Amino acid sequence: MENAVTWLFVPGSRPERFAKAAGAGADAVIIDLEDAVPADAKASARENLRAAWPIGSGVAVRINARSSPEFEADVQLCQELGPDAIVLPKTESAADVRATAEATGRPVLGLVETARGFVNLGEICAAPGLARLVFGSIDLALDLGVTADAALDASRADLVRWSAACGLPAPLDGVTPSISDADAVERDARRAKEWGFGGKLCIHPAQLPIVRDAMRPSAEEVAWARRVVDADEQANGAAVSLDGAMIDRPVVERARRLLRAAD
């Protein structure tokens, strides 16, 4: 699931939506046992998931936080079912990741959504079992007491920086709450791409094509990348310029990454 760009949430309390979500065209589906499920429906959501399994390929499960009384039952279910990955909310320490990975035997996507989690990003990224970081933007804004979205930019940079430093895939951006505002979804997805995120969480199938189009390299970017790679190959290691600009190793590597993303 390392290359998955669009991640679609579906509530565990809505089993009639499981198959629809799996067929909606998302790169990955997240069955949500946490925020989307009322407290009195947690047990029935687990039974819904057990009865519907297997749902398809590229399916992750968002369990309840390690501090939640639902955590043990959630990890036991995931140990039984073996989803492709576990999305761990309120990831705040290496111990959170390690305990989840050991209990489920599955890769962990650490959803970082508290100030404590961001303070501990270094140890979280070093934890065995961590597969990727995920941005819990809405909960973080609440925890920090901020209302301006720009106040979260430093946290976006932290996720991208730590992911790169620790050899993790580019992190996943948080959700765009508005389902009907396509412009907001596109704006958020383009910003995520510009900040260095590799994918985005979605809450409705209508968001999927918007996110995919916004985050994939544009035709102009692909054309530029091909020209850079061609020029570099023809130079056979010698210094070369293109459009009046020197092509050095970082430029060539950026072009190659763009072409890989386009593929």
The model's pLDDT over 240-253, given as tens digits with 9 standing for 90+, comes to 778 877 787 878 78
List, for residues 159-197, the tens digit of each pLDDT value: 999 999 999 999 999 999 998 899 999 999 999 999 999
Question: How does 94-119 read in b/e, with b if 16+ C-beta sit within 10 Å?
Answer: bebbebbbebbebbbbbbbbbeebbe
Considering the chain, what is the average pLDDT of its residues? 93
What's the confidence (pLDDT) of residue 250?
78
Least confident piece of the model among 43-52, 100-109, 144-153, 214-223 = 214-223
The whole-number average pLDDT for the span 126-150 is 96
List, for residues 41-52, the tens digit of each pLDDT value: 999 999 999 999
Which helix (H) or strand (E) segment holds residue 71: the answer is helix 71-81
> Is pLDDT above 90 for 257?
no
* Dist. CA 120–CA 134, nearest whole Å: 14
> Is pLDDT above 90 for 218?
no
Least confident piece of the model among 95-99, 154-158, 228-232 = 228-232
What's the confidence (pLDDT) of residue 165?
97
Residue 259 phi, psi dihedral angles, 5° rounding: -70, -40
Q: What single DSSP character describes residue 176?
A: -
Q: Which residue in 89, 82, 38 sits closest to 59, CA to CA?
A: 82
Residue 62 phi, psi dihedral angles, 5° rounding: -90, 110
More confident residue, 25 or 234: 25
> How are the residues of the chain apportioned to helix, strand and coil, as percentages rounded to the nearest 5?
50, 15, 35
* Cα 49 to Cα 1, 46, 75, distances in angstroms: 20, 5, 13
The whole-number average pLDDT for the span 86-100 is 98
What's the confidence (pLDDT) of residue 254?
78
What's the confidence (pLDDT) of residue 229?
81
Res. 61 pLDDT band, cuts 50 70 90: very high
> Is pLDDT above 80 for 237?
no
